[in-house]
Amino acid sequence: DTAVSQTPKYLVTQMGNDKSIKCEQNLGHDTMYWYKQDSKKFLKIMFSYNNKELIINETVPNRFSPKSPDKAHLNLHINSLELGDSAVYFCASSQPGRQETQYFGPGTRLLVL
Amino acid sequence: RKEVEQDPGPFNVPEGATVAFNCTYSNSASQSFFWYRQDCRKEPKLLMSVYSSGNEDGRFTAQLNRASQYISLLIRDSKLSDSATYLCVVNIRGSGDKLTFGTGTRLAVRP
Residue of A2, A6, A41, A45 to mutate, testing the B interface (most B Cβ within 10 Å of its Cβ):
A41
Tens digits of residue pLDDT in B9-68? 899 999 999 999 999 999 888 889 999 999 999 999 999 999 888 899 999 999 999 999
B91·A94 Cβ contact <8 A: no
Q: Is the pLDDT of residue B109 over 90?
A: yes
pLDDT tier at A60, thresholds 50, 70, 90: confident
Whether A100 contacts chain B with CB within 8 A: yes
Query: DSSP label at A42?
Result: -
| Closest C-alpha among A80, A36, A88, A37 to residue A62 | A80
The average confidence (pLDDT) of chain A is 91
Q: What residues contact residue A65 under an 8 Å CB cut-off, 6+ apart?
A: A76, A77, A78, A79
